[in-house]
Amino acid sequence: MENCLGCRLSNQEENLHVIYENEFVTCILDHVPHHAGHALILPKKHKAEVTELDEEESLSVMRASQLVARTIHALYEPNGVTICQNGGTYNELTHYHMHVIPRNEEADHFGDMFYGHVRVEEPNESLEETHEKMRTYITGLLE
């Protein structure tokens, strides 16, 4: 779709921080992360809902979520990781995307996101630093 921000992001037509990609998906850092390491996984072809993904795309999304979660655990040692996606009216991007979000008990207002009250902690590192760390770690895993 020509005017779809998700398509532009997944095909790297916008300024973003790509941490991993394959022929089906692109993984980027969220521009306003809940915590350092918060990433999005987007299919390269326009799909709005999870029900539209074909088998290869579905497997690529899940494998990418495992890769990103493994990276988050290794680099940030969170209390946990939440993997989620919003569909229908709640998909503000109008392009399927899965969030992979590190969680920490001492600074976690995650539930607020579901009620439209996003509180984001001040990151302890820049997106550029997070990008370099995650991209380097993922590259090492794949070698």
> What digits encode the pLDDT tens for the residues 26-51?
999 999 888 899 999 999 999 999 99
The pLDDT score that the predictor gives to residue 106 is 62
Contact 138, 71 (CB under 8 A): yes
The pLDDT score that the predictor gives to residue 3 is 85
The pLDDT score that the predictor gives to residue 92 is 85
Q: Which residues of the chain have pLDDT under 50?
A: 114-115
The pLDDT score that the predictor gives to residue 112 is 52
The pLDDT score that the predictor gives to residue 52 is 97
Which pTM value belongs to this model? Answer: 0.88
Phi, psi of 111 (to 5 degrees): -60, -25
Ordered domains of the chain (ranges, CATH): 5-142 (3.30.428.10)
Per residue in 129-142, is it b (16+ CB within 10 Å) or e — as a string? ebbebbbebbeeee
